[in-house]
Amino acid sequence: MKAIIVEDEKLAANELINRLKEVAPQINVVATAASVAEAAKVIGTETPDLIFMDINLGDGSSFDIFEQVEIAVPVIFITAYDEYALKAFKHQGIDYILKPFESEELVRAVAKLNLTGREQPPPIDNQKDRSKTKTSGPSDAIRADDLPNSYQERFLVSIGPRMRSIVAGEVAYFMADGKYVTLFTHEGNSYLIHQTIATLSERLDPDLFFRINRRFIVSFSAIREMIRYSNNRIKILLKPVPPDSTDAIVSADRVQGFREWLNQ
């Protein structure tokens, strides 16, 4: 896989190259660029499969590159600034890493290439191999054999002009409302996120989360009580309570998988 690094600090570019050799040796860095103008030229010449980008460059912002050359490949942004994350995900971004970063963060970022149909790197020695085989039925939307080895562990959310990253253990459930998806924490806070329920169901750890219907993905720790419901379905009482007391009911085609998930 051919990659280009857009970084105006030579030491930072060299460090990234060395980290990639350790954690993703199949990624071949074919060129580096230190400016907007140089990056536009290199990207057009080398036709990479992946691009690593810093945000602030000597002659402008890396977002200016998109105005000069068409970029249709995944981009992993690595920067010291956290205020550009939302904009980054609108510019081919598949991950947003803040400097200084650990090798595990780079591994997780590159692993997301698997979701775009591209090659996934082998895990490094100290990374947990979280690949699992489950016995859930075909109705279980969060199937371990459909997932990359690294599940999503953090969720970037916005609070007005501020941002924070929420770890998976803080998440009570996800709830879809039309085209919007809201993340609810165990503390009762809620945040809109820029992912679909279908995408989330492919990226969450199936030991922790289960998609009960078209609207809800719930964590085991958020289940307060379960009640038998009509047509052999199961009604779940969640904590915190969903807005407008929306019912969380396991759909008929997911009941068997849900029972197995509870009994593993």
Same domain, yes or no: 163 and 255? yes
CATH number for the domain including 185?
2.40.50.1020
Residue 5's identity, in one-letter code, is I
Q: 173-176: long-range contacts at Cβ-Cβ below 8 A with a sequence spacing of 24 or more?
A: 173/216, 173/217, 173/218, 173/219, 173/222, 173/238, 173/242, 173/248, 174/200, 174/216, 174/217, 175/215, 175/216, 175/242, 175/243, 175/246, 176/214, 176/215, 176/216
End-to-end CA distance of the chain: 39
Give the confidence band of 177 by pLDDT, cuts at 50, 70, 90: confident
Number of domains in the chain: 2
| pTM summary value | 0.47
The two structure tokens encoding residue 211: 């998609």
SS3 174: strand
Q: Would you say how long the chain is, in residues?
A: 264
Q: pLDDT at residue 178 above 90?
A: no
Give the helix/strand (H/E) hosting 223.
strand 223-228
Instruction: Report the distance separating Cα 195 and Cα 31, nearest Å.
Output: 32
Same domain, yes or no: 91 and 183? no
- Of 77, 66, 147, nearest to 109 by C-alpha is 77
Residues 102-158 have pLDDT tens digits of: 888 888 888 887 644 444 444 434 433 433 333 333 334 444 444 344 788 889 887
Residues 29-80 have pLDDT tens digits of: 999 999 999 999 999 899 899 999 999 898 889 999 999 999 989 999 998 8
72 φ, ψ (degrees, to nearest 5): -120, 10
Does residue 85 form part of some domain?
Answer: yes
Same domain, yes or no: 44 and 151? no
Query: Structural domain of residue 148, as residue ranges?
Result: 144-262
